[in-house]
Amino acid sequence: MTTRIEFLRNKYYAAETSLAEEQELRALLRESEGYEEDKMLFGLLEAGLSAEPDQLTYPKSRKSITLNFQWLGWAAALVVMVGSLWMYRGYVVQQREEAAFREVMQALSIVQGNLERGRDQLDPLKELRYLNTPQELFDLDQ
């Protein structure tokens, strides 16, 4: 009997026993003397298995970090809103730059028109450069 208990114990601790062999080992341990540690182990296991779930106490689990998906939705909405405002601001700045460019081009075209009119008014003076002396201009010799 002792050899059978030793054989079954070694097999049990190597995790190679079947359910029938485990039941046989429990029965042999109840009938035999000694093996107090094994009896206590199987006694605790049987007490734990026969206890009702109300009486079992489980260790407290650690608090795990969880994401609250409701806040994640709010954060995503905020990111979309900030991105939209940033893009709109860029659009407004671009529109202002284009308006300023058009105003500058309009002012430059007015200046160019005035310069052309001034140059046209100077055309009669171009004839003066061909005259050699002021006497020819005013015809003073007559």
How far, CA to CA in Å, does 73 sit from each of 24, 79, 90? Answer: 59, 10, 26
Whole-model pTM?
0.37
pLDDT at 136: 59
Low-confidence ranges of the chain (pLDDT < 50): 44
Amino acid found at 65: I
pLDDT at 36: 72
Residue range 4-30, pLDDT digits in tens:
888 888 888 888 888 888 888 888 877
Q: Which helix (H) or strand (E) holds 111?
A: helix 69-121
Domain ranges of the chain: 2-50, 70-123
